[in-house]
Structure 1
Amino acid sequence: MTVVLVPQLLSVGVCAAEEKKDELFYLEPIVVTAEKTAQDVQRIPGSVSAYTKSVVEERHVEKLYELTDYVPNVFVKKNSTENIISIRGISPMQGSLFSATGLYVDGVNYPIHQMQNLDFIDIERVEVLKGPQGTLYGRNSEAGVINVITSSPSNEFGGKVFGEIGMWDSRGGVPIYKEGGIVNLPLVEDTLAMKVAVQNYTTDGWMENIGPSSQDDATRVRHFNGRATTRWTPSDAWDISLILQGQDETDGIGVYRFIDGPYATGRNEIAWDGPNKNSVDANAQILKAEYHGTDVDITSVTGRHSYSQDYEYDVDMTPMNLYSMFPVFTADYDVEVWSEEFRIASKPGKNRRFDWLTGVYLYGEDIQTGNYSMTDHVTDQDNWGAALFAQGTLHMWERWHFNLGGRVEYARLEGEKTVNAAMMGMGVTTMADTVDDTVFLPSASISYDLTPEVMTYGKVSRGYLSGGFDSYFAMTEELFSYDPEYSWNYEVGIKSKMLDNRLMVNLAAFYIDVEDKQVAEYVSPYERYFVNAAKAESYGVELDVQYKPLPGLTLTGSLGYLESEIKDWTTEGYNAWDYSGNKTPGAPEFSYAAGAIYRWESGFFVGADVVGLSSYYANAENDRKLDGRTLINARAGYEGERFDVMLWARNIFDEDYEERSMSWMGGTLIQQGEPCSFGLLVAYKF
């Protein structure tokens, strides 16, 4: 018996050693579902950046906006209660409820900005698709799409528990705590399994309130997130998953401070006499069923998402009660979203002449928003829509591939609003309107394989950002609604893997033309309205590089160049302005990242990254410019069979930077960026 087993054990050992060597020396192939079917990311004719679980964890990326620092020409305009994602200079106007970037978690859309502040937990992969994705994703994907795919259960028992302690380098040091666990439970052998992941994140934050308010939790954060995934595979053909997600979050939102004027404070300090609090309670249920037949694959994704948010803050943001009639601004959002996507696709395989997929998409949204200050604005929206889409790829000859797709989508938004302006002597006003649109969203691309490892492509696609309602400022029915905006994206690029799969270089150039752009125009200091009054254009270049020059050493780099400006927009009357030729707000000309990580076969690793962007304008008038920034992050640790240990640091040199800037109360009010933070993460695997 021993004589028989020794060669087998040697063979297994040799294979394991070779597999480890390949992992250390060659770039990992990444399969994505960006185009609704499994594909090598390097074979998609378009700009797609993919980040696997290992990349997310080794860079200690804990939130969605932290990941976007590594993606060229992707920028997140952060504020205290939402993240507004801008891709290639395309983002919605300030005050818009819906995002121009589609965010999908396990195939289900998170439609409004407030829902896009994601904490990562047990993520399998994140895909960033740049440029309009209307054919496969429909409305509100005009800028692009971000897909977040969570980890699925397996048929082996295992998991991990983890704990983290960190520190903000401010106020003499403010602790950061995170703890949680992941467990995989096989319930029926090779048939039924469950995976549960939970985590809790707490910190008192880096900002201190030195004002008279009794609330000293200016940036206190309490985040609890959990997910349970049950996977049933009754046969080789069926794969069915039920995903249950929940989040309970409370944030102190006192991150705005005056840098000049009568109420200026020092760094990491605010002086408010009122509250600053944001609370979120949300849950989601997703049912995904896949049937893998002999000739076709059939997929159904059914989703429901309930999201509730309430926040309040001191209106004047000073230590004085300057607005005694309405000292506190409060708002609430209640969103109920359901969706169903059903699609059929040809079986993937080599030597096929034609690949195709087709499907239908249905959705409904029940959205209530309330904004309460000088006037109370309460808006109810009942939105629904349906779409039919198809896409096919013809593999002409051996190296040419032609892709053509189209989507017909109908969207209907019904809105009702009540405005109580009694405090301003104007009484109560009610209004109602309907915005509906039927749109055709085509796309076409052609690609050519210069070699089996190098592909060039050209692509054109149409984008669409739906119309909507002004839930913040509109005082009359005439100003209540606005129409959709549209865009065309033209892109050429090259994707390559060279040097025996040790070097990846992707280069893309694009031009985007936006028509009927949605903008906000002020008619008084307290009233603005949304109109489709402008044109805009964006063009630029993106470069992504990965290189493994030595076993264990991985070098990465990205560079984005962007020119994004407003065309043909002039206002009259109050705040008259000619915006034509101005830069688009929140669109840095350059964004860049460079990093290196070295892994020893023993499990030890060390790495560092530089992420940054150039200066950009905070407003459409281009009279308020924010400086660029360059941040350095680093980590070092050990990954073993049972234990993982990581030391990490973000913004090592404690660069002082601003996220937003505005004129307010006789001074300049800014949203301060995060200072230096560092910590220790320990995990036990079983």
Structure 2
Amino acid sequence: MTMRQLKGGLSRSIRRSAPIILIGSALSPMAAARTANPVAAEPGQEMQGIADIVVTAERRAGSVQATPIAISAFGGDKLESQGIVTVEGLSRIAPSLQIYSEQINNEEYIIRGIGKSNEDLTTDSGVAVNINDAYIAQSGEANAALFDIERVEVLRGPQGTLYGKNAVGGVINIITRKPTDHLDGYVLAELGGLGRRQFEAAVSAPVVEDKLSARIAGFSLHTDGAYRNLTTGNRANGVDSQALRGSLLFTPSDDWEVSLTVDYSKVDQDGVLKSAIVDVPGTPLIVRDFFEPPYPTQEENIRSGRSETEGEQGIRQWGGVLRIDRKADAGTISFLSAYRGERSYNVEDVDRTAALQNNFMAQQKTWATSQELRFVSDDAGPLSAGGKLHWSAGLYWFHEQGWRDQQIFLYGCTPGSQPCDPGNPDNPDDGLIGPGSPDHQNSTASFLQRINTDSLAAFGEVKYDITDRLSATAGLRYTSENKKFGLDASSVANVPGGDPFTLFLPNGDFQTARSKTWHSLTPKFVLEFEPARDIHTYASYARGFKSGGFNGQAGTAADTEPFDPEIADNFEVGIKADLFNRRLRLNAAAFYIKFNDLQVTGVNQQGLVITNNAADAQIKGFELEGWAQPLPGLSINGSLSLLDATFTDYAIEAFDPSITDGPPFYILDLNGERMPNIPKYTATLGVQYEYKFADGSKMRLGADATFKGNTVTNELTLRANSYAVVDARVGWTSPNGRWDISGWVRNLTNEVYYTGGGAIPDYNKQTTRVGLVSDPRTAGVTLKVAFGE
């Protein structure tokens, strides 16, 4: 490997940092990008100090410590040891990251308080999830199985310049393991409580020596589910998941690299039960509603319900990424072409009673493609101004088409008309929506949504080394995005010849088509200073934007008016320090985010979820991550996130069923109040001790804890209590490292907390909630066998 290749593969700041042990025979930009594993010692060599992870968060290889972004990076071994097998699990280990997985294809990703406002097809997440550098548009697809993973990078704060739209909160980068030029692979089996059966396998080998390599990996998971339906007696919420991934790596010469990765996965969940959670024992979930009693309350077994059906949900997804890299003296030109498709479904009993009264059903199909062409300069090439200039530029195109059929079944009456008797004449003094309207509803409303999105962008970023320790970065991205939206809203009677009237469409059926184009400039400025060799500081400003959209559950054509993009300006200072001969690492960031046109969701007088740009907000926060190796074999890690997220201009219509002399709504002023779904604090703490025996085998003991504060709803009622979860494990690795067996206990203290759900607008929301409760304490064993070189 030449010195020029070494300089091209590593940034200036890495070369100035403390010595880093490198694996492999080359560190060209291409090789560094595909071999960015946690730094580890060569065989027979003891690691000195805390290891680095090489990341490509800025589209060029660099260590986490030298990257002026608040970033957490986790190697595949870290995910495996903590039992994290989906993207959702990352919220247990990454600061300021919340992922609520209430139902498949409706996951909510939140970084620093920025996420998704509703489940409509046209509403995007404020957190961009990428797999092998390809953007995943739909949140259900993004909650992919994490198996045979090289690393995961979680970038916090707007990443509008290099990653573009919908990276207003941050980015989650998932990088899968690439084919190797030698035989390599593993087999993993895990058995545990709740019928857990997990299997993984991967194998990599050369097809044509030094030219073509291939890798194939598979994953399977079955769990029985912790819930039981007391109406049917059936167990519920069990999951079956399978996934398959194949990769090819073609290197015809030292300057060319072509990679292709394709994947397919399916997830089916038998049951979509949630719990009624009450603060006072015996309190009914519903106070006054369209439903008939008996109203649900918290069961003796909190992981149970009394629905008339368990429900079901699932997703099928497939896709691929083709990447071509051409290295020259000046830098590397990369072309990425990606495609993804998905189909998903969901059926859920919303009223939580044994009677068929209110069910939610949805089917969705989408596909998307993206093409990106970018150039990343060589740090020592002819366009680097003598090694002082580091720059990149690119073009990007994204296209998506989608279809979603969302249906709401409702059989209900006005409270004054209960018990509901469709045979009785209407009472002109009340009615579902006022005098003269029907007293009852027995129909299904359907919202058939269609979306066609085209997004074009051009971007560039330039970094200049002013001195050996001081550098400045400027970046800019221009995005033009067009969304075409169609909605067919209709209602049909649930019984032949019945009345199709529905609350959700007060003016009857309608069809509408709309189109909107948005343009955005997202700049970035960074000033970096290194006061000492192992201390990196930075100050930055970055803007991000989340795409606008349309209300796919609109009750009238007028309600389908588009809502505009959400804009966030992030001001941040940070420090990353390696101390005491790299035995202690502390990374800290303080930030202030100002929001304009924040996309917020409320419930209108028809009970429909509506999103608009009704709010401005601000978030102030502090994040700290730490790693320590105080003694040989002992490692400690932890993190802390403090968030103060408040509305600066926001008022909503809140539902109050006690109002009987008019529409049951009032104006709730939230100016200065706390934003929903954001805990004020999150923290993690992990401890592991490893002892090496004389024969070379290793024994390890470890424990990890996650702490989170409570969250509120958009009406300031409690959504989730604070909680602390502890996992523990013990393991043994054979002298040659090929055999590894571990035993584990997850949720050691049997903590009851919930990861999805919340207050329903017309329920007794001050003292009751609906939540997806966590699994109880489970124990199990994992066996992994590695083979190859």
TM tier relative to shorter chain: over 0.9
Task: State the match for 2:291 in structure 1.
Answer: none
Distance in 2 between residues matched to 1:461 and 1:669, nearest whole Å:
37
Secondary structure of residue in 2 paired with 1:136: coil
Cα pair distance change 1:150/1:575, threshold 3 Å: farther
Corresponding position: 1:679 with 2:780: yes
Secondary structure of residue in 2 paired with 1:42: helix
* Contact preservation (8 Å) 1:24, 1:553: no
Structure with max Cα Rg: 2
Task: State the match for 1:632 in structure 2.
Answer: 726
The Cα of 1:520 is off from its aligned counterpart by: 2.3
Distance in 1 between residues matched to 2:251 and 2:41, nearest whole Å:
31
The Cα of 1:581 is off from its aligned counterpart by: 1.6
Task: State the match for 2:501 in structure 1.
Answer: 424
Distance in 1 between residues matched to 2:235 and 2:400, nearest whole Å:
34
* Contact preservation (8 Å) 1:433, 1:477: no
Secondary structure of residue in 2 paired with 1:142: coil
CA offsets, 1:451-479, max 9 Å, x none?
11101110000010110111123431443
Taking the TM superposition and a 5 Å limit, the aligned residue runs for 1:564-583 are: 564-571=645-652, 574-583=665-674
* Contact preservation (8 Å) 1:194, 1:228: yes
Secondary structure of residue in 2 paired with 1:600: strand
The Cα of 1:160 is off from its aligned counterpart by: 1.6
Task: State the match for 1:232 in structure 2.
Answer: 250
Corresponding position: 1:382 with 2:452: yes
The Cα of 1:428 is off from its aligned counterpart by: 2.6
Cα pair distance change 1:460/1:208, threshold 3 Å: same
Moved more, 241-250 or 493-502: 493-502
Distance in 1 between residues matched to 2:531 and 2:360, nearest whole Å:
59
Secondary structure of residue in 1 paired with 2:742: strand
Taking the TM superposition and a 5 Å limit, the aligned residue runs for 1:145-224 are: 145-167=171-193, 174-212=194-232, 216-224=234-242
Taking the TM superposition and a 5 Å limit, the aligned residue runs for 1:44-193 are: 44-81=67-104, 82-95=106-119, 97-167=123-193, 174-193=194-213
* Contact preservation (8 Å) 1:227, 1:246: yes
Task: State the match for 1:14 in structure 2.
Answer: none
Secondary structure of residue in 2 paired with 1:68: helix
Distance in 2 between residues matched to 1:662 and 1:478, nearest whole Å:
24
* Contact preservation (8 Å) 2:226, 2:235: no
Corresponding position: 1:670 with 2:764: no
Taking the TM superposition and a 5 Å limit, the aligned residue runs for 1:360-509 are: 360-373=395-408, 374-422=444-492, 423-424=500-501, 426-509=507-590
Distance in 1 between residues matched to 2:272 and 2:265, nearest whole Å:
21
Distance in 2 between residues matched to 1:598 and 1:240, nearest whole Å:
41
Cα pair distance change 1:230/1:257, threshold 3 Å: same
- Report the structure, 1 or 2, having the larger strand content: 1
Corresponding position: 1:270 with 2:305: yes
* Contact preservation (8 Å) 1:588, 1:615: yes
Secondary structure of residue in 1 paired with 2:162: helix
Secondary structure of residue in 1 paired with 2:91: helix
Task: State the match for 2:412 in structure 1.
Answer: none
* Contact preservation (8 Å) 1:207, 1:254: no
* Contact preservation (8 Å) 2:555, 2:606: no
Match of 1:353 among 366, 369, 388: 388
Distance in 1 between residues matched to 2:638 and 2:43, nearest whole Å:
24
CA offsets, 1:118-144, max 9 Å, x none?
221100000010000000011111000
Return the TM-score normalized by structure 2: 0.81
Distance in 1 between residues matched to 2:569 and 2:332, nearest whole Å:
31
* Contact preservation (8 Å) 1:24, 1:551: no
Task: State the match for 2:321 in structure 1.
Answer: 286
Moved more, 455-464 or 217-226: 217-226
* Contact preservation (8 Å) 2:646, 2:672: yes
Taking the TM superposition and a 5 Å limit, the aligned residue runs for 1:496-645 are: 496-571=577-652, 574-601=665-692, 602-617=697-712, 619-640=713-734, 641-645=737-741
Task: State the match for 1:299 in structure 2.
Answer: 334
Gaps of 5+ in 1: 1-16, 168-173
* Contact preservation (8 Å) 1:186, 1:193: yes
Task: State the match for 2:259 in structure 1.
Answer: 241
Distance in 2 between residues matched to 1:23 and 1:245, nearest whole Å:
37
Cα pair distance change 1:676/1:315, threshold 3 Å: same
The Cα of 1:427 is off from its aligned counterpart by: 4.2
Distance in 1 between residues matched to 2:310 and 2:562, nearest whole Å:
32
The amino acid across from 1:661 in the alignment is G
Corresponding position: 1:652 with 2:748: yes
Return the TM-score normalized by structure 1: 0.92
Moved more, 95-104 or 477-486: 477-486
Aligned length: 657
The amino acid across from 1:369 in the alignment is R
Secondary structure of residue in 2 paired with 1:424: coil
Distance in 2 between residues matched to 1:116 and 1:238, nearest whole Å:
30
* Contact preservation (8 Å) 2:41, 2:47: no
Secondary structure of residue in 2 paired with 1:467: coil
The Cα of 1:68 is off from its aligned counterpart by: 2.0
What is the Cα-based RMSD across aligned positions, in Å? 1.9
Distance in 2 between residues matched to 1:589 and 1:20, nearest whole Å:
44
The Cα of 1:46 is off from its aligned counterpart by: 1.7
Distance in 1 between residues matched to 2:92 and 2:722, nearest whole Å:
13
Distance in 2 between residues matched to 1:320 and 1:135, nearest whole Å:
52
Task: State the match for 1:8 in structure 2.
Answer: none
Query: What percent identity do the matched residue pairs reach?
Result: 26
The Cα of 1:356 is off from its aligned counterpart by: 0.4
Task: State the match for 1:341 in structure 2.
Answer: 372
Secondary structure of residue in 2 paired with 1:341: strand
Distance in 1 between residues matched to 2:51 and 2:746, nearest whole Å:
26
Moved more, 406-415 or 599-608: 599-608
* Contact preservation (8 Å) 1:597, 1:608: yes
Moved more, 144-153 or 541-550: 541-550
The amino acid across from 2:710 in the alignment is S
Task: State the match for 2:411 in structure 1.
Answer: none
The amino acid across from 1:263 in the alignment is P
